[in-house]
């Protein structure tokens, strides 16, 4: 992986942690997910228009199918993530989702894409697993009702992360869909898929706009930008490098959850996050 790709991933990790902080503060559901997805269209439209006008990217019907598939997977990802934030702590749900995602992505890359991680990468995976266990509260997490709910949603979100990572990797590196078009089209697709639900919950949408409009605007900007950077790196770099490297956002998420949101077990979670970062470094080097 080149330094340019690594730089894109590190910037993306910081942006990713920031928009997850906004999502935790909003604690919204399907109505909130529809709101920030819908806001993505007008906010990013000028950039997409300039890109299409000057670069004239090509989009095949297969590429359009991959954009639709990405939208469907991301709908599930955002809904389960938001649900997790409503039932658990940011510093439990976020690290679990972001920690299990790269492990499952690596397994999928080996089985489906033919990538072959080294023993160093396997060692890194073990560090991540240990960090995931302790950052979620260790043995106590199975006894705490709130933590247990967060653990379940965090693991399910991690599975969806691995799914969309492998799917979108194929889209940008094999089908050659432009990262900007993939993310923008996926956002529009999410909006359309959730529109029937939003119409039935118009009162909730209005409430979310009145109370969490700035969080929704922030997520619409930061989430898309963070993922466009990752997709750009995925064009040439393998999943088994990018997926673990972007999880340095776990450290940012743990810091935000413990310091800004005043969630408990500060030192345990920070040490666990450090173990996960070490594992991520080993995965990347491997």
Q: How confident is the model at residue 17 (pLDDT cuts 50, 70, 90)?
A: confident
Scored b (16 or more CB within 10 A) or e, 221-247 reads: bbbbbbbbbbbbbbeebbbbbbbbbbb
Structure tokens at 219: 């997520």
pLDDT at position 139: 55
Q: Assess whether pLDDT exceeds 90 at residue 5.
A: no
Res. 233 pLDDT band, cuts 50 70 90 = very high
State yes or no: pLDDT of 194 exceeds 80: yes
> Cα(168)–Cα(69) distance, rounded to whole angstroms?
9
Over 90: is that where the pLDDT of 54 sits? yes
Q: Residue 124 corresponds to which tokens in the numbers above?
A: 């890194």
Per-residue pLDDT at 148: 62
Distance CA 225, CA 250 (A): 18
CB 185 within 8 A of CB 37: no
pLDDT given for residue 138 in this prediction: 57
Q: What's the pLDDT score for residue 82? A: 78
Encode pLDDT of 240-276 as tens digits.
Answer: 878 877 777 766 766 666 666 565 566 666 777 778 7
At residue 141, does pLDDT exceed 70? no
- Residue 239: what pLDDT? 87
Using CA atoms, how far apart are residues 192 and 96, in angstroms rounded to an integer? 29
Residue 42 has pLDDT above 60, yes or no: yes
């Amino acid at each position: 992986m080149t330094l340019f790709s690594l730089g894109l991933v590190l910037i993306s990790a910081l942006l990713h942690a920031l928009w997850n902080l906004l999502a935790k503060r909003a604690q919204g559901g399907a109505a909130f997910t529809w709101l920030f997805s819908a806001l993505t269209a007008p906010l990013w439209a000028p950039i997409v228009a300039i890109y299409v006008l000057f670069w004239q990217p090509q989009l095949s019907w297969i590429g359009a199918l991959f954009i639709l598939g990405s939208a469907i997977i991301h709908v599930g990802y955002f809904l389960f993530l938001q649900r997790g934030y409503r039932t658990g702590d940011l510093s439990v749900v976020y690290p679990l989702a972001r920690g299990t995602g790269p492990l499952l992505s690596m397994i999928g890359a080996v089985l489906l894409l033919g990538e072959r991680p080294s023993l160093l990468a396997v060692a890194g995976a073990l560090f991540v697993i240990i960090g995931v266990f302790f950052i979620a509260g260790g043995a106590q997490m199975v006894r705490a009702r709130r933590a247990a709910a967060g653990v379940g949603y965090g693991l399910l979100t991690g599975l969806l992360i691995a799914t969309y990572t492998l799917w979108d990797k194929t889209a940008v590196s094999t089908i050659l869909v432009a990262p900007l078009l993939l993310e923008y089209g996926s956002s529009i697709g999410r909006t359309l898929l959730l529109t029937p639900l939003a119409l039935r919950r118009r009162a909730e949408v209005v409430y979310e706009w009145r109370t969490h409009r700035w969080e929704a605007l922030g997520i619409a900007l930061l989430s898309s930008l963070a993922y466009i950077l990752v997709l750009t790196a995925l064009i040439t770099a393998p999943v088994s490098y990018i997926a673990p490297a972007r999880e340095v956002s776990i450290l940012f998420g743990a810091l935000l959850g413990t310091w800004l949101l005043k969630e408990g077990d500060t030192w345990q979670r920070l040490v666990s996050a450090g173990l996960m970062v070490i594992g991520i470094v080993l995965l990347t080097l491997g």
